[in-house]
Structures are given as C-alpha cells and as structure tokens.
Amino acid sequence: MAEVVVVAFSGGVDSALAAHLLREQGWEVWAVFLRLTEAAEGAGRAAHLARALGLPLVEVDLRQEFEAAVVQEFVRGYARGLTPNPCVACNARIKFGVLWQRVQAFGARYLATGHYVRRRPAPEGGYGLCRGADRSKDQSYFLQRLPREILPQVLFPLGELTKEEVRRRFQGLGLPEVELPPESQEVCFIPPEGYREFLRRAGVAAPPGEIVDTQGRYWGRHQGLIAYTVGQRRGLGLAAREPLYVLKLCPETNRLVVGPKAELFAPGLRAVAPNWLTEPPAGDGEAVAVIRYRHPGVRARLRQEKDGSLTVAFAQPQAAVAPGQAVAFYEGERLLGGAWIAEPLREGEI
C-alpha cells in the first residue's frame, strides 16, 4: 500500500504539478486547501484542479491560528517600527507547524509543498535543505525557521525544476480550463489598497512626526512611520544637496531618521532567536548571510553571544539592514538556518 503524502494545495500551478509528480512517483496523494482568511481566494480553483487531477481535497480552517501567529504579529511588528517578514513566520508556524500537526491526525506521514527548494541527505545524517535549482525562484530563504525535526517528513517535488519547466509540464497535463491567478510577490492578506491602509484599519497609530538626521537636525515632517521602510529614498519630500535615505524608524519618539547613502551601510547586525537546520554550531563560525529575499548574500563571521543572540560581521558593509526582517545563513547551496534581525551594528560594536 502506497504511503500517504498531503500536499498543501493552493489552486495554483506549482502545487498542482507538485501533487501530480508525487502521484506519478507512486505516492497516495491527498490535497489540502488552507483557509487562512475570510476571502480564501483560490478555494474554487483548488477544488476544480483537485477534481481534474482525481485527488481527494480536504479544506483545513486555520483562520484563527493564522490571524494570531502571522497577521497580528505583522501588525505588532510595524507598531514597534520593525519591517516584519510574515512569509517566514507563516511557513514555520502555519504550513510546517499547525498544518503538519493536523495532517498527522489524518494518518499522513509526509507533507509536500510547491516550494522551489531541495531536500537532500546531510553529511552528518538526516536531511538538509538546499537552494532550488532555479535560482531565480529559489524559496529556501522563506524556510529558514522550519523545525529541524520535520525535515525527514517534508517533500519538495519542484526543487530540481525551473519555473519554465513547471509551466510546460502543467500545460502538458491537458487539464480543463481554469483561470489561474497572476504570480504575486505581495503578502497574501494585504488588500489591494496596500499594507499602509491595512495597518491603519488594524488600529496602528500613524501620527505625523519629525524627520531628523543622525545628529538630531530637523529636516521636515513625516506622514506616519508606517509609510516608511529602512533604505527608502522616494517619497521623503526633502530638499537636500544629496539624496537622503531612511536609516531608522523610532516609534518611541515618533521620529524618522534619515541620512546620505554612505550612512545606510552597516558592517554587521545583531540577530535574535536563531533557528538551525543543521547541528547547532558549537562556537563561532562563518557563513553567507542573506539579509532579505533576493539579497545576493555576503560572507560573514557569526559570533554567539552569552544571551543567545548572534553578532554577524559582514565581509563588506551592507545597505538597508532592517530590524524585523530575517537573516538566513548558507554554506554553499545548503541552508544552515536563520534568525531575526534586531538591529544593524556600527563600527566599534562588532
């Protein structure tokens, strides 16, 4: 009897082809649609594609868990002047957290998704995660906070494929016409009006305040801190001899700190709550640090502090280190783990 694998089934091309490939490999495949929001966009497409593929489809209602673990954390992060990454949190706490607990109750021993990432045997035993073969679509960054113990039970059928190959294979299935959504890089729960309007509706205070530089000199007024992110240049409305960038958001004083591009670069960062997908390092080490999705990465020294945090010293200074974002650590193609960025560090702090 074939073993059961549950596929997180969104109603898109990636999850549909992932399910098809697994069934071709001999698995008994169940499709699961995650209802995360009231709108639950994609439910109709998921049902249509599951029927066309001959897959049983189960809907799992995780709206309450998603609201508490992802949406409200996103809101609280912005209220504290952070730049949260809800997708990293969602993968760890919802898709490979609560959902994994639910599918085990169904009797399934494996969970699969359409992520572009590769699971490979690790030299020390067990499994590790590596970048997807299609580097332009690689999603390993978003999986940096997965619990290490889940790796033997997760499958990523698209990891060795390019996006073009996935589209071509999907089209070759000859499925009935279904209107597929355009690919989106937006956060799934943010409405078309944008995240600033979402935060205002959620009750995040956004009063105007002062714009100052690192010396405390006054430059003008901002329109509410939630309208700005570290590294932003456009939309400041400031007259200066050289372009000014957002360096820091200070919710405790409601000030926006700006400065020239040179001041945007930091030689390192402090990160908290590290999560390791390998054996936790016994001491200090080196890795390639990726400080946001699409960041090319930079060689860095990692120093473990007594309080459990990490000091990350870059080989070359990096621009726009944003508190609240996640930093991922790599060794070659392998994802070692990650942590949450607490603050950029300056010369003398490393």
Residues noted as catalytic: 90, 188
Residue 46 C-beta-side C-alpha neighbours within 13 Å: 21
User: What sign has the CA pseudo-torsion 38, 39, 42, 45?
Assistant: positive
Q: Are 274 and 281 in contact (CB under 8 A)?
A: no
Burial-class residue 236 by CB neighbours within 10 Å (0-12, 13-18, 19+): buried
Please tell me the distance from the alpha carbon of residue 141 to that of residue 291, in angstroms, as a whole number. Answer: 9
Amino acid at 302: L
Rounded alpha-carbon distances, angstroms, from residue 65 to 144, 150, 181, 344 = 20, 19, 25, 31
User: What sign has the CA pseudo-torsion 185, 190, 191, 194?
Assistant: negative
Q: Where are the beta strands (DSSP E) in 19-77?
A: 28-35, 57-61
Please tell me the distance from the alpha carbon of residue 310 to that of residue 340, in angstroms, as a whole number. Answer: 10
Rounded alpha-carbon distances, angstroms, from residue 158 to 41, 113, 114, 316, 320 = 23, 9, 6, 34, 32
Unique residue bearing structure tokens 């205002």: 200
DSSP-assigned letters across all residues of 293-349: TT---EEEEEEE-TTS-EEEEEEEEEE---TTSEEEEEETTEEEEEEEEEEEE-TT-
Unique residue bearing structure tokens 């008994």: 28
Angle between helices 13-24 and 43-53 (to 10 degrees): 20
Secondary-structure breakdown of the chain: helix, strand, coil percentages, each rounded to the nearest 5: 25, 30, 45
